[in-house]
Amino acid sequence: MPDILKDVVEFIKENFIMGRSDAQIDPDESLIESGIMDSTGVLELVEYLEATYGIKIEDEELIPENLETVSNIVNFLKTKGIS
């Protein structure tokens, strides 16, 4: 599981925190409320997760409980069979 966490954090840093690779991301901090991502960023994240892990994320799964924090994303991937 730590590899998934690391991969997701790296994607977020590379795509949403440009020039601040040393920035720390709290796994339980809201990515939207903290200003790291906006609604377009969520769609980019979904595309990344689908391509990287070979999954399909349905429209009804695009909810904060699944995608708002790094911890939520990791837990959501577990429900999709990714470990």
Statement: 2-79 belongs to CATH 3.30.360.10: no
Amino acid, res. 53: Y
Q: Render pLDDT for 52-62 as a digit per residue (tens, 0 to 9).
A: 999 999 999 99
Q: How confident is the model at residue 17 (pLDDT cuts 50, 70, 90)?
A: confident
Q: How confident is the model at residue 21 (pLDDT cuts 50, 70, 90)?
A: low
Q: Would you kindly state where each structural domain of the chain is located, as residue ranges?
A: 2-79
Cα 83 to Cα 75: distance, rounded to the nearest angstrom: 10
The values of phi and psi at residue 15, to 5°, are: -105, -20
Note the Cα 76 to chain centre separation in Å: 10
Helix/strand/coil (H/E/C) assignment for every residue in 58-78 = CHHHCCHHHHCCHHHHHHHHH
Q: Render pLDDT for 28-78 as a digit per residue (tens, 0 to 9).
A: 999 999 999 999 999 999 999 999 999 999 999 999 999 999 999 999 999
Cα 53 to Cα 35: distance, rounded to the nearest angstrom: 26
Global confidence as pTM: 0.90
